[in-house]
Amino acid sequence: MFAYFILTWICVFFFILSLKFRRPKNFPPGPTPLPILGNLLNLSVHNPMRDLERLRKSYGNVYSLFIGPKPIVVINGMQALKEAMLTKAYFSLQLYDSTPIIRNLPLPFMKGFKNMEVSILLNVPFIISLVCCATLSFLGVTQVSFLLSQTLKKLITGVITEHRETIVPGKPRDILDCYLDELEKSDSDDSSFSEDKLVMFILHLMFAGTETLLSGFLYLNTLSQLQEQCQQELDRVLGNKDHASYDDRHNMPCTLAVIHEVQRTANTVPFSVYHLTTKDTKPMGYSLPKVLFGSQGTVVIPNMKSVLNEEGQWKFPHEFNPENFLNDEGEFVQPEAFMPFCAGPRMCPGERLAQMKFFLIIVTLLRKFKCIWPEDAGEPDYTPVMGVTLSPHPYRIKVQLRTTQ
């Protein structure tokens, strides 16, 4: 009798769980979830993107999964992503909308970001040092990386001190001046502005995009003919100029195509940043409610790989080829499906900074150095390593100073 009673309650428990895991009316379809686990067994820890593509073939460009008891919606393909993020963009971005320092940037900060090109050009050697530090960490040289990071923090502190001594209130030269102005205005201990946070803020700005840079040099290192084409273009366009400017990109179709193709194939943040619905919306005819199972907002994940490798949108969707960004006349064109920073009002707020920094660093290094794949390094492995972001496997690189510039 007691065993029958326990069995009955177990059945009732799992019945209630099954009701909790039922999809609402007109919600995107998906695989049947298991109690407690949801659809976790449908995803591989090592390569979830392959599983998401398999589910896309079964359920279409908009489908849903349960991660434990939490339902999420995965959006695939350019058409569905554009409709969701642009046409029916009723989403919040958790990082953007929950962080006051990002959401409520005052006007001077906007002016500071406009001056970022000058800051990048003046600090390219400093930025390269940061990249080297990140690369050593990437290669597993933990002790050296730690020492370099501590040294870089001291250098940043010195730069902050210099800015504080020369700042003119109300006339910001760059993002540092803007931050220091706000720091002076903040008297509360609960303020999101502090010098320690400023040091980390600068480190994050400089370290951001390291994985994409590593992917870029992997391709340039192994495709020597492509590297030479870019260097010839740089020599022709820049001539005797001391340094490149961001505006020079308009005269560098080959280099610009290579940079964009690196961003497309690297796909460093394959799922962008999770979004939440702020209103009831119906992308591709499916209902995504503002409130789902008592929680605020439906979680939406954009699958960027499905767009950046979508057949029909690219000449060579599954291989590295800068021709994806060049027309028949050799002019640079940016396909509509190029959206590594997602799309819409809640796309990555650092897109312009990332594009500018990537361009100026790549151009500065290619102009001065030649990258060579070591003879004993074997065949290059372009398969990405899955983590918080996608990054290339560790590799060695041989660098020579160019004799003709």
For the chain, domain boundaries = 22-98+274-302, 100-273+303-401
pLDDT of residue 93: 52
Higher local confidence (pLDDT), 266 or 126: 266
Higher local confidence (pLDDT), 301 or 94: 301
185-192, long-range: CB within 8 Å, 24+ apart, which pairs?
Answer: 192/99, 192/100, 192/101
Q: Is the pLDDT assigned to residue 108 strictly greater than 50?
A: no
CATH of domain 100-273+303-401: 1.10.630.10
Q: What values do phi and psi take at 105, rounded to 5? A: -60, 125
* Segment of 54-58, 84-88, 159-163 carrying the highest mean pLDDT: 54-58
Closest CA to 66 of 18, 106, 8: 18
Amino acid, single-letter form, for residue 52? L
User: Which residues are part of a known binding site for heme?
Assistant: 348
Q: What is the mean pLDDT of residues 157-169?
A: 81
What's the count of helices (H) and strands (E) in the chain, helices before strands?
Answer: 16, 11
Give the model's confidence band at 316: pLDDT under 50 very low, under 70 low, under 90 confident, else very high: very high
For residues 356 and 350, the answer to whether their CB atoms sit within 8 Å is no
What does pLDDT average to over the chain? 78
Taking the complete model, does pTM exceed 0.85, yes or no?
no
Q: What values do phi and psi take at 64, rounded to 5? A: -125, 155
Retrieve residue 89's tokens. 């963009």
Higher local confidence (pLDDT), 334 or 97: 334
For residues 44 and 51, the answer to whether their CB atoms sit within 8 Å is yes
pLDDT of residue 241: 86
Give the model's confidence band at 121: pLDDT under 50 very low, under 70 low, under 90 confident, else very high: low
Q: How far apart are CA 220 and CA 128, in angstroms?
A: 17
Query: In 10 A of CB 150, how many CB atoms?
Result: 11
User: Which residues are part of a known binding site?
Assistant: 348
Retrieve residue 299's tokens. 């979680």
Retrieve residue 40's tokens. 């976790």
pLDDT of residue 154: 76
> Tell me: the pLDDT tens digits for 360-396?
888 988 988 888 888 888 888 888 888 778 888 888 8
